[in-house]
Amino acid sequence: MIITDKDKLNIKCKNCKTIKEGEEIAVKLLDELKESKSGIGLAANQIGINKRVCVVNCKKPIVLINPEIVEKSTEMFAFMEGCLSFPKQAVRTLRHKSIKVKTKNHKKTLEFTVPTDKTKSDFLLDSYEVACVQHEIDHLDGITMFDREYKQEPWRRKIDKIG
């Protein structure tokens, strides 16, 4: 069952001691994600497990055990996010266009990037994946999409004279 209590989701998760521990949690996450039918990612604390494990399933299932973003681009993109913990709610966030993630279960650093060519066939899936990885790692750090909400400032100009 997916947790919907924001206070329970605002707690930073602890590292897994072993890859096996993380993989066992990942199986539960993937099963829950499959059951949801509408989600593309899930973090362990969303199902009541206080461990740094999350899964993302945009193009293919990716398991991240003890993930840390080690590099991020300065370029950002606006993204309308939803969350399985907050059904029927969405907020606009700003996400990094490119990130590098180090995990316990992957030997190489993983890179997630929004393609520069918008006509690329996987453009949308790649964009979702970049945002989703950041969203799920945020969950593990006790941050929800509401904490990242981007509210654009209205454009204003100074009017010297009225009339």
Annotated catalytic residue: which of 21, 81, 136, 149? 136
Distance separating alpha carbons of residues 67 and 136, to the nearest angstrom:
10
Query: Catalytic residue at 136?
Result: yes
Strand, helix or coil for residue 41: strand
Q: What is the pLDDT of residues 52-92, one digit of tens each?
A: 999 999 999 999 999 999 999 999 999 999 999 999 999 99
Percent of the chain past pLDDT 70, that is, above it, reads 94
State the pTM of this model. 0.90
pLDDT in tens, 100-155: 999 999 999 999 999 888 888 889 999 999 999 999 999 999 999 999 999 877 76
- 20-60: pLDDT as tens digits: 999 999 999 999 999 988 899 999 999 999 999 999 999 99
